[in-house]
Structure 1
Amino acid sequence: MSVWLPSAPCTPGACVEQARAAAAVPRAVLRLTVVVVLVLAGIALSPLGGRIPAEWVRRWSRAIVRAIGVRVRFTGAAAPAGGLLLVANHVSWLDIPLLTAVRPARMLAKSEVRRWPVAGPLAARGGALFIERDRIRALPQTVARIAEALRAGAAVTAFPEGSTWCGRAHGRFHRAVFQAALDAGVPVQPVGLRYRQEGGGPSTSAAFVGEDTLLASLWRVARARGLVAEVDIRPPIPPGTHPDRRALACAAQPVTPEPAWTHAALVTT
């Protein structure tokens, strides 16, 4: 099996719960409409590329998450400037705007994403690095492309689990992408993502796993009430502190954390 193509045991039927308190259909439709407008605005402005201030991109990303009815809590330190490999566990399509709110970056994405309606063109214009996950021979070339972007001072976002998990369980971080950070001599910024019900425990309503469709996931999140996304920004791992990619992947691997509200929140939107 390719190192880019691990699988998770999570499935919609076994893992994904419906929202305990559902928003009315008109409100859910309004939420989705606002999200579509924001995404289309992003596509329209994407040809401007680096001329768009990073803070505008962060605010736009937060606005997408808020528009669909999800509150966001950020904890930890801000991501540093310069070349940076940003890594996180993968639960939902919401992970992408959440990480962009941490730091705008080039996304490492499977080649299939390029063909997705709306999201595909947006990812391509945003400088996404597309990988062919079923071609093991493409691995060295892909790692070299990531390292080149990092050396040029770009931030690259990756999900080293290689697959989405429901959030109650996590996969291990695979090592391949960490070689690019070693080759480029840049820090790695681990981020932990969690989804919870306001005032309650973990929620899998936002999970996008298995054979779940994007439309079904969008509708489930839009109908949810009291859903909170928690973004735990861990301290960056400086270059040269780990001898190989295996050690670096283990250092970046998320652990089961304390609830985010036990820490001082940097931002609540």
Structure 2
Amino acid sequence: MIGAIRIAVILGLFVSLVISLVPFQYLFVKARLGWQQSLPRFFHRIAAWLLGFRVKVKGEIVQDRPLLLVANHVSWSDIVVLSSVANVCFIAKSEVRKWPVFGTFAVLQRTVFVEREKKGRTAQQASDIALRLAGGDAMVLFPEGTTSDGNRVLPFKTSLFGAAHAAIREAGEEQVIVQPVSIAYTGVHGMPMGRFHRPIASWPGEVQLMPHLKGILKEGAIDVEIRFGEPMRVSADTSRKELARIMEERVTTMLQSSLMGREITPSAEDQ
């Protein structure tokens, strides 16, 4: 009974937050005002608190631009926690646009939607991302292409890494900064989560969104560690496949460091 009341209160506060801020973001986006970048961070900071995420950050996001952030992907909540600590925009699969509520949020955060299954559109989609990079937006790419179980990093797909080269080629940039980011769900109610309890936070594709959201609300206290790693300065000569490999290794090392609670030395190939 108490749990149901708590969930109802949180949902009520969340609805109030949406009603209060979403109309302003709509106007900021339409008018292309500077607040269109910072209001989502304010919104997600409150949303993360309501959902019970306790976010810890290690490292810093690079301030130079153009900047492409490359992160592992565990759950829909990655967007909430990452947006709560930095002014970022996301690259998401086209299906997200059709999701109830979350699709609207994605549009208002100026998400770039891509159709990963249509290989013929890869160049155009990379070009769209490149224009946003050249315009100063810090874009977040989830190169796994799907969500994982939160205990590991899935192989990175290389296709959209071409956005970095497209920004150099089409926008006249000399180089693009690519920075690895890891998102680790590490604890619940102050206790280590462990790999067998990671499904509390992780959201594999076969799990329905609303039951998973209800589970998050029921727990009410989930620890998340976000790490911003060592960036790479990418030029026109940088191999896309090599870039993806290095980013995958760095994200994997950071994720395992967060999950194990101790620093792991990067592989010799990445040093």
Conserved? CA contact 2:144–2:156, under 8 Å:
yes
2:252 to 252, 255, 261: 255
Q: Which residue of 2 aligns with 1:24?
A: 3
Q: Which residue of 1 aligns with 2:156?
A: 173
Structure 2 residue identity aligned to 1:189: Q
2:86 to 103, 116, 134: 103
Q: Distance in 2 between matches of 1:42 and 1:175?
A: 36
Conserved? CA contact 2:53–2:81, under 8 Å:
no
Q: Helix, strand or coil: the match of 2:65?
A: coil
Q: Normalized against structure 2, the TM-score is what?
A: 0.80
Q: Which residue of 2 aligns with 1:200?
A: 192
2:108 to 102, 125, 146: 125
Q: Which residue of 1 aligns with 2:24?
A: 45
Unaligned runs of 5+ in 1: 1-22, 264-269
Q: Normalized against structure 1, the TM-score is what?
A: 0.81
Q: Distance in 2 between matches of 1:156 and 1:192?
A: 15
Q: Which residue of 2 aligns with 1:12?
A: none
Structure 2 residue identity aligned to 1:132: E
Higher helix share: 2
Q: Which residue of 2 aligns with 1:92?
A: 75
Q: Residue 164 and residue 36 in structure 1: after superposition, are their counterparts in 2 closer, same or farther (change >3 A)?
A: farther
Q: Distance in 2 between matches of 1:152 and 1:188?
A: 15
- Shift in Å, 1:173: 1.3
Structure 2 residue identity aligned to 1:141: Q
2:14 to 16, 35, 57: 35
Q: Which residue of 2 aligns with 1:155?
A: 138
Structure 2 residue identity aligned to 1:214: L
- Shift in Å, 1:146: 1.0
Q: Which residue of 1 aligns with 2:62?
A: 79
Q: Helix, strand or coil: the match of 1:187?
A: strand
Q: Which residue of 1 aligns with 2:266?
A: none
Q: Residue 138 and residue 53 in structure 1: after superposition, are their counterparts in 2 closer, same or farther (change >3 A)?
A: closer
- Shift in Å, 1:143: 0.9
Structure 1 residue identity aligned to 2:94: S
Q: Distance in 2 between matches of 1:41 and 1:262?
A: 41
- Shift in Å, 1:85: 0.8
Q: Which residue of 2 aligns with 1:214?
A: 209
Q: Whose RCO is larger (CA < 8 A, sep 6+)?
A: 1
Regions of 4+ moved over 4 Å: 53-56, 260-263
Q: Distance in 2 between matches of 1:38 and 1:217?
A: 21
Conserved? CA contact 2:71–2:143, under 8 Å:
yes
2:177 to 153, 163, 187: 187
Total equivalences in the alignment: 242
Residue 128 (structure 2) pairs with residue 145 (structure 1): yes
241-250 or 145-154: which moved more? 241-250
- Shift in Å, 1:82: 2.5
Q: Distance in 2 between matches of 1:34 and 1:246?
A: 45
1:213-232 equivalent positions in 2, closer than 5 A: 213-232=208-227
Conserved? CA contact 2:71–2:181, under 8 Å:
yes
Q: Distance in 2 between matches of 1:216 and 1:136?
A: 33
